[in-house]
A = this chain, B = another copy of it.
């Protein structure tokens, strides 16, 4: 099977699902969104229908439509479109995986099921394998997010021998701060050429030094450019400069975390920064408050993160 011409690396934006004021999906802005990511943020890979995209709050049918729209609009513009196909129901996960292959996505990602939880690593692998088997032509990525799922199987143990069970396995999105586990995933699989994508944006630098080959996150939607500058400094071994960028990004994230920061707030910030209307979130989330949005805007300005957009005009200007 011809696997992706390019290994998945660098920044991957976890896409937001734009919605209209009455909570329906707003497909009409996805084209602009693609252009914005590529031109203004320098981000050319996306992770669709994940946590940031409220994937599990959408119906299976909606997830299919959203996936198609991103693949269609991303054609010849984006490098890779990865579809998160995880679900509590195995059959639904398989349906979404098969669909992702049919529409020509570049890979699928699956979270550990988390209501009735797998008791052992082998059971979890069996579940993941069944999903992977529904899309044998696509690279498979495991989405490790123990704080949200409560599934306490270490990623490093899961990866042990995984190619025997899931030959399409190509890497993981590691959304946790346990860098012993992450480091051992890298260390034990160095010859495999897996993608080790880190999912905790606010401390990406700490994972880069531990061997991360890329990152998936919500902040790359609007801080992609700044983060790419950090990646560049890191690759050029200018670690002092890289740390300055990391601190810069941390000042913003630390600020919003203390106000209460979730998917709703991400949508509000993205609307602010990109000028593209992301709309409100779907229940059970509530739209970000006016105070939050104003505070976040003030903070972004004070940190000079808005230099490449002109909010007053509603135009998107390339920044330095």
Contacts and interface: CB of A to CB of B under 8 A. Distances in A.
Given A51-B116, A57-B88, A184-B254, A283 B246 contact: no
Contact of A251 (B113, B115, B178, B187): B187
A29 interface: no
Contact of A180 (B89, B90, B254): B254
Interface stretch (A2-10, A198-206, A300-308): A198-206
Contact of A124 (B60, B116, B130, B284): B284
A180 B257 contact: yes
Number of this chain's copies in the assembly equals 4
A248 to B, nearest CB: 9
Contact of A203 (B56, B180, B286): B180
A62 B88 CA distance: 13
Interface in A133-185: 148, 150, 156, 177-180, 183-184
B177 A202 contact: no
A114 B116 contact: no
A100 B118 CA distance: 30
Nearest to A176: B177
Interface stretch (A64-72, A77-85, A207-215): A207-215
Given A57-B89, A156-B254, A210-B246, 15 more contacts: A56-B88, A57-B88, A57-B113, A59-B60, A90-B283, A115-B148, A118-B285, A127-B283, A150-B150, A177-B179, A180-B200, A180-B254, A183-B206, A187-B247, A187-B251
21 contacts: A51-B115, A51-B116, A56-B88, A59-B60, A88-B88, A90-B282, A112-B284, A119-B262, A123-B283, A130-B283, A156-B254, A179-B202, A179-B206, A180-B202, A183-B206, A187-B247, A203-B210, A206-B209, A208-B209, A209-B239, A209-B243
